[in-house]
């Protein structure tokens, strides 16, 4: 809880059903706490006085119960016996209701292994098969979290294990088992990853941010309840894509792009061909990544290398097109579309993007494309301003993406959300509004400072200069004709390329040859 960013993670099995209801009647014995299904119970723990709990009147269609214990600062233990199984800040265990008439569960024990007194919250949820009254059978079964555990200590381990450092965060969890009716033996698990074996269920990972700089118990309890059950998780959290975690290849790719982008931010309009290479790289690389990722199942690192290669080809092609044909409008259309793409991404990153109408993919992509095309149309009468704005904004945003590959910042999601939507057909259902935290304000300030500085510098430096450089191919032809006809030009007497090449090669050979002695030498006779 002391990390600079705080979040909760939930892993949901795609086939999960609706929690069954249960009621609590009467009062518990003084020895026991009384748990209520679906509600958080607050109590204090000490090492000398473990807490035992009771749960009454469990519904007959309940297959298993999920017990959780959450403490803010001290580790606690949750167990169905006095044998310690696992101690942690956040602990979950599963209990099976195997007897058809079972209505009470005893011996749910919670204690604090440390010498300090700590506070804990325990929610209890029941899961079952959804009963179909027409067919008098179970229509669907809730998967058993951690039911196919082979990785961790518990036989059935529904816990999520979180590991994080300065660079990345990793979550681990045991695969679930398919659900089964009450009193029936659980289906077997298998170590293979076949569709009908151990990995036959699909998993969705959801992320939820806690408010920044609020470490009170009340805030923790309030937000824990928003991640306690499947409907609350889907309503409050953001669904993540599992194939875009931060990797070394990602950092190398975006770091090199940021170096080029930083140069473009301040000197792009002066070095026109370098800017065209950068624009062509973005243009073709983005579409190539989407195309290959949707059509193939390549590994991420291989896909990123191929994207870099395709982007480089796109950059070379755009530079070659300008050098040979010199069509300024075509080049500026590509430049304007890249700026329009980022502008459209920014607009959909705001709460506007979470409007219900944009959940429809057709409406979203048509609106997105119209905004992207509108930018080059608006600036078509002032192409130099369009070019300088693109250099400053796009070049500085590449630095934001590089920062996002090392530390968390939601600003990298401005473009990544569009990429995820293009790759995942279900991403239109995700809630993409994320809170702005300290990292985001710092990165936003860096982005704004770089963009404003780069745009201002280039506008001041280009005053009185030609709007764009002349056609390179025409200049090359004129220079070649001038050298051929002007015998007074020293370049007219330059030897052919082949002779110059062999001359350079001869000089290199002479450098490695041993120098021969000059004159005659007579040996000394003794």
DSSP string, 303-357: HHHHHHHHHHHHHHHHHHHHHHH--HHHHHHHHHHHHHHHHHHHHHHSGGGGSGG
pLDDT at residue 413, as a whole number: 86
Q: Which phi and psi angles does 7 have, rounded to 5°?
A: -155, 160
Secondary structure string (H, E, C) spanning 362-428: HHHHHHHHHHHHHHHHHCCCCHHHHHHHHHHHHHHHHHHHHHHCCCCCHHHHHHHHHHHHHHCCCHH
pLDDT at residue 126, as a whole number: 61
pLDDT at residue 268, as a whole number: 92
Q: From CA 16, how far away is CA 128, in angstroms rounded?
A: 10
C-beta separation of 314 from 285 below 8 A: yes
Asked if the structure places residue 103 within a domain, the reply is no
Asked if the structure places residue 13 within a domain, the reply is yes
C-beta separation of 228 from 125 below 8 A: yes
Q: From CA 312, how far away is CA 281, in angstroms rounded?
A: 5
Asked if the structure places residue 222 within a domain, the reply is no
Asked if the structure places residue 294 within a domain, the reply is yes
C-beta separation of 138 from 131 below 8 A: yes
Asked if the structure places residue 422 within a domain, the reply is yes
Q: From CA 449, how far away is CA 283, in angstroms rounded?
A: 25
Asked if the structure places residue 151 within a domain, the reply is no
Structure tokens at 51: 């807490």
41-76 burial string, b = 16+ CB within 10 Å, else e? Answer: beeebeeeeebebbbbebbebbbbbbbbbbbbebeb
Spans of the chain below 50 pLDDT: 1-9, 12-30, 86, 96-107, 115, 129-139, 166-167, 195, 242-244
Q: From CA 160, how far away is CA 225, in angstroms rounded?
A: 17
> 417, 445, 462 — which closes off a domain?
462
What domain range includes position 39? 1-17+31-74
State pLDDT tens for residues 305-335. Answer: 999 999 999 999 999 999 988 889 999 999 9
How many structural domains comprise the chain?
A: 2
> 9, 42, 74 — which closes off a domain?
74
Q: Burial of 511 by CB count in 10 Å (0-12 exposed, 13-18 middle, 19+ buried)? A: exposed
Asked if the structure places residue 253 within a domain, the reply is yes
Give which of 499, 488, 259 is closest to 396, Cα–Cα. 259
Structure tokens at 25: 């009647």
C-beta separation of 243 from 424 below 8 A: no
Asked if the structure places residue 348 within a domain, the reply is yes
């Amino acid at each position: 809880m002391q990390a600079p960013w705080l979040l909760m993670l939930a892993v949901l099995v795609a086939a999960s059903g609706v929690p069954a209801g249960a009621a609590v009647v009467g009062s518990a014995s003084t020895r026991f706490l009384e748990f209520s299904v679906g509600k958080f119970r607050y109590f204090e723990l000490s090492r000398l006085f473990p807490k035992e709990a009771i749960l009454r009147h469990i519904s007959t269609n309940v297959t298993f119960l999920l017990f959780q214990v959450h403490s803010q600062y001290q580790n606690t233990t949750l167990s169905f016996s006095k044998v310690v199984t696992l101690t942690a800040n956040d602990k979950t265990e599963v209990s099976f209701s195997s007897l058809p008439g079972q209505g009470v569960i005893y011996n749910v024990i919670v204690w604090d292994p440390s010498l300090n007194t700590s506070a804990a919250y325990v929610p209890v949820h029941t899961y079952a098969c959804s009963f179909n009254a027409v067919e008098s059978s179970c229509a669907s079964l809730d998967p058993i979290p951690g039911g196919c555990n082979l990785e961790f200590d518990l036989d059935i381990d529904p816990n999520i294990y979180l590991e994080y450092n300065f660079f990345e965060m990793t979550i681990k969890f045991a695969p679930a088992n398919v659900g089964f009716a009450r009193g029936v033996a659980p289906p077997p698990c298998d170590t293979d990853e076949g569709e009908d074996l151990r990995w036959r269920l699909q998993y969705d990972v959801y992320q939820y941010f806690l408010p920044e700089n609020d470490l009170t118990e009340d805030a923790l309890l309030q937000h824990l309840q928003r991640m306690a059950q499947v409907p609350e998780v889907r309503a409050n959290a953001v669904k993540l894509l599992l194939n875009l975690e931060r990797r070394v290849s990602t950092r190398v790719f975006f770091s090199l792009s940021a170096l080029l982008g930083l140069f473009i931010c301040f000197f792009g309009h002066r070095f026109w061909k370098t800017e065209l290479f950068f624009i062509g790289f973005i243009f073709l690389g983005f579409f190539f990544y989407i195309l290959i990722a949707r059509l193939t199942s390549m590994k991420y690192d291989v896909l990123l290398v191929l994207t870099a290669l395709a982007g480089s080809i796109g950059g070379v092609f755009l530079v070659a097109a300008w050098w040979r044909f010199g069509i300024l409008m075509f080049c500026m259309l590509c430049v304007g579309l890249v700026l329009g793409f980022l502008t459209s991404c920014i607009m959909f990153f705001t709460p506007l993007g979470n409007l219900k109408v944009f959940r429809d993919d057709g409406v979203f992509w048509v609106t997105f494309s119209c905004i992207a095309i509108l930018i080059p149309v608006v600036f078509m009468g002032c192409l130099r301003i369009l070019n300088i704005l693109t250099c400053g904004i796009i070049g500085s945003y590449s630095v934001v993406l590089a920062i996002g590959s090392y530390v968390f910042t939601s600003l990298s999601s401005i473009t990544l959300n569009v990429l995820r939507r293009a790759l995942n057909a279900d991403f239109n259902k995700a809630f993409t509004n994320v809170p702005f935290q300290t990292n985001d304000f710092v990165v936003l300030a860096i982005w704004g400072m770089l963009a404003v500085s780069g745009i201002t510098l280039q506008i001041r430096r280009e005053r009185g200069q030609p709007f764009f450089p002349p056609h390179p191919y025409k200049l090359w032809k004129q220079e070649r004709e001038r050298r051929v006809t002007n015998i007074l030009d020293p370049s007219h007497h330059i030897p052919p390329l082949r002779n110059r090449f062999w001359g350079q090669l001869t000089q290199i050979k002479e450098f490695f040859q041993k120098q021969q002695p000059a004159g005659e030498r007579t040996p000394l006779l003794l």
